[in-house]
Amino acid sequence: MNPLNPEDTQDLKQLIEFLKENQVAEFELDRGDLKIRLKMAQAAPAGISDLASLLANARAAAGQAPATLPQAAAAPVDPDAGLHIVKSPIVGTFYGSPSPGAGPFVSPGDHVDKGQVIGIVEAMKLMNEIESDATGEIVKCFVSNGQPIEFGQPLYSVRLG
């Protein structure tokens, strides 16, 4: 087995961080006999040491020396880090106001209380009120009026408080 040298390990860590920060779910590298495929789990990404071992094993199996990985660009600090995300509890069509032409339930900058209606999801011709599961300030709405949405899809980010 051909272990990674410290420089290759650092390059791999930078690549993985770049992929995580840019929410890349899958990455594939194919250089002749060396083939690497990474698939990030949403709940708990694989550890750096597990991926480094995978890379070393792939190189050893291909009979190749460690290759230099591309340098990842430094990502800016995410201003939305630490915000609470309100997600859709059902599949359907999202509506941000109680009726066409009416003002939105909430907008960025509005204060919401836990249990307050913040949207409607139409599913099978039934209108389901979506309530905030947190108290705080609406920072961002991730969906637009009339947009089809999936179960668990982010709807709003809320700064708790």
Neighbouring C-beta atoms of residue 24, cutoff 10 Å? 13
Per residue in 44-82, pLDDT tens?
444 555 666 666 666 666 666 555 555 555 556 566 667
Pair 116, 58 in one domain: no
Q: What's the domain count of the chain?
A: 2
Per residue in 36-45, pLDDT tens?
677 776 544 4
Predicted confidence at residue 158, as pLDDT, reads 94
Predicted confidence at residue 15, as pLDDT, reads 72
Pair 89, 127 in one domain: yes
Q: CA 65 to CA 60: how far, in whole Å?
A: 8
Per residue in 70-124, pLDDT tens?
555 555 656 666 799 999 999 999 999 999 889 999 999 999 999 999 999 999 9
Neighbouring C-beta atoms of residue 71, cutoff 10 Å? 11
- Residue 39 belongs to domain spanning: 6-62
Instruction: Output the domain CATH number for residue 142.
Output: 2.40.50.100
Q: Is 109 left (phi over 0), alpha (psi -120 to 50) or beta?
A: left
